[in-house]
Chains A and B, each alone.
Chain A
């Protein structure tokens, strides 16, 4: 049985392996589908909805949908791009994202996506919610103003027994991601750094070491997000 799959994204033929998601297959073929909550090596959970594509007239998240033979996927269309831009704007207005003062600026995926989608002024009013900050862990700061509830840290940062350091609390627009008080006190240096690197924004900050990478030499300072994937035509 052949394990090769052929399908199309915006008319471009994609050759994929069976079992790959649309995002993975697209990436392997030089097509960038923007993602935010997705993280390589972690099970996908369509939380941010950034990678939404249209498939058989339905909106599906490309990070969770397996590629299948003969699919016709719409991704880079005005409608879908407007939704994606809308999602970025939603994340901006529902938190307090002050890029110039943020340690993650330049390495932040939300900021990079906002540049890529040319966000100027969000279409939604800023909500300026009152949010707190948890600095009780000796290694980490959990900065709630910047959290976008992507779930990456919840999935990635676990101890040897599989217990999560992070978890959701509450629901709806009161939802937040919190760090376990007990586990947070004993978190290892390596895991704390991993937590910061896993966070797409500046919500998890490793303590006692700021700006070790200078502004100007950061990931998205020169090239827009996704340009490493895109094949220049």
Chain B
């Protein structure tokens, strides 16, 4: 193995910044990284063993223990549970002969859980090695496992036909469906590939391109909504030998899958956007950070890049523009939601654990390897192409004054037509419900777990206490007629995740609990607040739903939720949102559980806590205090 590892590291010139690639290659070879491998890596890369270990143990898809021949990562999104994940899990465990979190005795199957993998509209789904299996049912699982046991390959085990559109491309061959339900300016089919690079770049100076994007008021589509033109202008301002454009394809917010669809159907549009951004900012290094869950697109995306190189749309003097040199490399992630945060993403690109950086300095000043770096979302880059092609005025014809253009929504949950909807900014929640065929709605989660959970009930009368008012500026307090709220940066900003829950769902026990588990699992752990508070808040929530809560517990949760706002990154700051926004908008659900008259309940059960001791000595508890 030692020789093989040396061969791998030399493939990357023993560059520690390529540690992610090196580890992925080792996993491809033997499924895990052993301590001996880490020893060799440390020697080769000139690092200490704990430094290598730091990266290995951070990412969900890396392992230090041997895994199976087939490693099944079953998605644990809330919508997967709503569509029968428990039964699928049970069948998987029975058929594979092992429990989640372990490897079967014959070494054939490893079973694991994984956070939302961008398949919420076709769950429960699972990643098996680098293939995706969707719409799983116990029947399908039995068939699949039997096929694999009988020696069929994963490719052969894809039991039905492949999905729609480019999902059937020979380099993709996945059973994933795009489920595009509504197309507007971004998803329209009349896209002429690379027209802007070929014809328009030569006519406009970089400054003019930045000007057009600025004029269009395009804002980042990942969720934060930073003005794209301004980001490009900042990126140009700093003197540097190199400049970097990064396409953030790490969409990890549970419930979003729009970047997956864009990369499947319009990869050329996204890459064209990167080339335009590079031209506008004089960047020469291009990187796509592709989440590991979308690895099944890796070969296909690289083929498109190769085609672009052949047509001189990447490389040197691109499209005849003198001294415009730019190329793109795809970097795979390895399973970490926090890497969607731009500075954590950059750390990961440098081979380190995905820990957000302190800001300032911002990536536009000091990013990848210290170079000025512009990180744009997949959808943002795609929109930029349309804007440069058709002009800012055209773009302004869509959306509202503060939120121009369209937004891709990823709709899932209790509705008839889950999938991708391209809507104008300013569309109301009610319209989204109608489009997607959701007629029994208790709650809608806008913007994923880090967003808000909104209700049909008028909760205006509840915003009276100081504690609840504190949250008002955060947009989590909502006014009357909540379903008439509109998707926009000033009212309901969102990266596009919309999850619908019907009246049968237990919002606290199922939904909020699942979201808190997500934040506990995905915190990088660096900030004292985000490392500890989600876990403590979940315990408090468990106390409440188990009937031991008192009214003060609800206010405690709101108070604790304020402390987490001092965390470094957006993940940390929003990690209490599932609890806080459900209290603000569904307080009555909490009130139903708490003991209205009690001031104190210590949740201490004498009988239960001495159970083990009693069993050991074979004695029964005699309670004197009752």
Please tell me if the beta carbons of A61 and B358 are within 8 angstroms of each other in the complex: yes
B247 within 8 A of A: no
- The contact of B565 among A44, A59, A180, by CB within 8 Å, is A59
Q: Which one of B313-321, B515-523, B581-589 is at the interface?
A: B515-523
Q: Which one of A47-55, A70-78, A100-108, A215-223 is at the interface?
A: A47-55
B526 within 8 A of A: yes
Chain A residues bordering chain B, tally (CB within 8 A): 48
Please tell me if the beta carbons of B526 and A149 are within 8 angstroms of each other in the complex: yes
B57 within 8 A of A: yes
A183 within 8 A of B: yes
User: Which residues of the other chain, A, contact B523 by a CB distance below 8 angstroms?
Assistant: 171-173
Contact with A along B566-583 (1 / 0, CB 8 A): 111000000000000000
What CA separation (Å) do A159 and B529 show in the bound complex? 31
A163 within 8 A of B: yes
CB-CB nearest in chain A for B357? A45
A201 within 8 A of B: no
CB-CB nearest in chain A for B526? A47
- The contact of A90 among B48, B473, B529, B562, by CB within 8 Å, is B529
What CA separation (Å) do A124 and B568 show in the bound complex? 21
A14-70 CB contacts (< 8 Å) to partner B = 44-49, 52, 57, 59, 61, 64-66
Q: A48-B528, A124-B536, A175-B531 are in contact. Are A167 and B563 (CB under 8 A)?
A: no
CB distance from B65 to the nearest CB of A (A): 14
CB distance from B480 to the nearest CB of A (A): 26
Please tell me if the beta carbons of A171 and B58 are within 8 angstroms of each other in the complex: yes
B387-403 CB contacts (< 8 Å) to partner A = none
Please tell me if the beta carbons of B568 and A61 are within 8 angstroms of each other in the complex: yes
- The contact of A179 among B50, B336, B358, by CB within 8 Å, is B50
User: Which residues of the other chain, A, contact B556 by a CB distance below 8 angstroms?
Assistant: 123
User: Total A-B pairs in contact (CB under 8 Å)?
Assistant: 127
- The contact of A52 among B48, B53, B520, B566, by CB within 8 Å, is B566
User: Which residues of the other chain, A, contact B527 by a CB distance below 8 angstroms?
Assistant: 46-49
B258 within 8 A of A: no
Please tell me if the beta carbons of A167 and B50 are within 8 angstroms of each other in the complex: yes
B4 within 8 A of A: no
Contact with A along B503-545 (1 / 0, CB 8 A): 0000000000000000011111111110111011001000000
A96 within 8 A of B: no
What CA separation (Å) do A87 and B50 show in the bound complex? 28
User: Which residues of the other chain, A, contact B528 by a CB distance below 8 angstroms?
Assistant: 47-49, 87, 90-91, 148-149
- How big is the B interface, by class? 35 or more
A12 within 8 A of B: no
Please tell me if the beta carbons of B53 and A167 are within 8 angstroms of each other in the complex: yes
User: Which residues of the other chain, A, contact B360 by a CB distance below 8 angstroms?
Assistant: 65-66
B51 within 8 A of A: yes
CB-CB nearest in chain A for B338? A171
Q: A83-B563, A163-B46, A175-B525 are in contact. Are A169 and B536 (CB under 8 A)?
A: no
User: Which residues of the other chain, B, contact A183 by a CB distance below 8 angstroms?
Assistant: 48, 50
What CA separation (Å) do A45 and B353 show in the bound complex? 15
- Of residues A49, A65, A87, A178, which shows the largest number of chain B Cβ atoms within 10 Å of its Cβ? A49
CB-CB nearest in chain A for B565? A59
CB distance from A54 to the nearest CB of B (A): 9
B492-509 CB contacts (< 8 Å) to partner A = none
A128 within 8 A of B: no
Please tell me if the beta carbons of A169 and B54 are within 8 angstroms of each other in the complex: yes
User: Which residues of the other chain, A, contact B524 by a CB distance below 8 angstroms?
Assistant: 171-172, 175
User: Which residues of the other chain, A, contact B53 by a CB distance below 8 angstroms?
Assistant: 167, 169, 178
CB distance from B17 to the nearest CB of A (A): 15
What CA separation (Å) do A82 and B579 show in the bound complex? 20
A182 within 8 A of B: yes
User: Which residues of the other chain, B, contact A59 by a CB distance below 8 angstroms?
Assistant: 565-566
A206 within 8 A of B: no
A125 within 8 A of B: yes
CB distance from B311 to the nearest CB of A (A): 42
B202 within 8 A of A: no
User: Which residues of the other chain, B, contact A169 by a CB distance below 8 angstroms?
Assistant: 50, 53-54, 57
B49 within 8 A of A: yes
B343-362 CB contacts (< 8 Å) to partner A = 353, 358, 360
User: Which residues of the other chain, B, contact A90 by a CB distance below 8 angstroms?
Assistant: 528-529, 532-533, 536, 563
Please tell me if the beta carbons of A164 and B50 are within 8 angstroms of each other in the complex: yes
CB-CB nearest in chain A for B535? A173
User: Which residues of the other chain, B, contact A47 by a CB distance below 8 angstroms?
Assistant: 526-528
A86 within 8 A of B: yes
Please tell me if the beta carbons of B531 and A94 are within 8 angstroms of each other in the complex: yes
- Of residues B536, B562, B565, which shows the largest number of chain A Cβ atoms within 10 Å of its Cβ? B536
What CA separation (Å) do A149 and B355 show in the bound complex? 13
Please tell me if the beta carbons of A149 and B525 are within 8 angstroms of each other in the complex: yes
User: Which residues of the other chain, A, contact B559 by a CB distance below 8 angstroms?
Assistant: 123
Please tell me if the beta carbons of B531 and A173 are within 8 angstroms of each other in the complex: yes
What CA separation (Å) do A157 and B531 show in the bound complex? 24
CB distance from B354 to the nearest CB of A (A): 9
User: Which residues of the other chain, A, contact B520 by a CB distance below 8 angstroms?
Assistant: 172-173
Please tell me if the beta carbons of A49 and B529 are within 8 angstroms of each other in the complex: yes
Q: A46-B358, A49-B566, A170-B58 are in contact. Are A180 and B526 (CB under 8 A)?
A: no
- Of residues B49, B358, B539, which shows the largest number of chain A Cβ atoms within 10 Å of its Cβ? B358
B610 within 8 A of A: no
User: Which residues of the other chain, B, contact A174 by a CB distance below 8 angstroms?
Assistant: 525
What CA separation (Å) do A124 and B561 show in the bound complex? 12
Please tell me if the beta carbons of A168 and B54 are within 8 angstroms of each other in the complex: yes
What CA separation (Å) do A131 and B267 show in the bound complex? 47
What CA separation (Å) do A151 and B473 show in the bound complex? 33
User: Which residues of the other chain, B, contact A163 by a CB distance below 8 angstroms?
Assistant: 46-48, 51
User: Which residues of the other chain, A, contact B50 by a CB distance below 8 angstroms?
Assistant: 164-167, 169, 178-180, 183
- Of residues A64, A93, A165, which shows the largest number of chain B Cβ atoms within 10 Å of its Cβ? A64
Please tell me if the beta carbons of B48 and A164 are within 8 angstroms of each other in the complex: yes
What CA separation (Å) do A170 and B58 show in the bound complex? 5
What CA separation (Å) do A40 and B183 show in the bound complex? 56
User: Which residues of the other chain, B, contact A49 by a CB distance below 8 angstroms?
Assistant: 527-529, 566-568
What CA separation (Å) do A65 and B361 show in the bound complex? 9
- The contact of B562 among A48, A83, A125, by CB within 8 Å, is A83
User: Which residues of the other chain, A, contact B58 by a CB distance below 8 angstroms?
Assistant: 168, 170-171
| Besides A46-B568, A87-B563, A171-B336, 8 other A-B contacts (C-beta < 8 A) | A83-B562, A86-B563, A87-B528, A123-B559, A125-B536, A149-B526, A171-B58, A180-B50
Q: Can you sample 17 A-B contacts with CB below 8 Å?
A: A44-B358, A47-B527, A83-B562, A87-B563, A87-B566, A90-B528, A149-B526, A149-B528, A149-B531, A161-B46, A163-B48, A167-B48, A170-B525, A172-B520, A172-B522, A173-B520, A175-B531
Chain B interface (Cβ < 8 Å from any Cβ of A): 46-51, 53-54, 57-58, 336, 353, 358, 360, 473, 520-529, 531-533, 535-536, 539, 556, 559-560, 562-563, 565-568
> Which 8 residue pairs are nearest across A and B when measured between Cβ atoms?
A175-B525, A167-B50, A64-B358, A163-B48, A172-B523, A180-B50, A167-B54, A86-B563
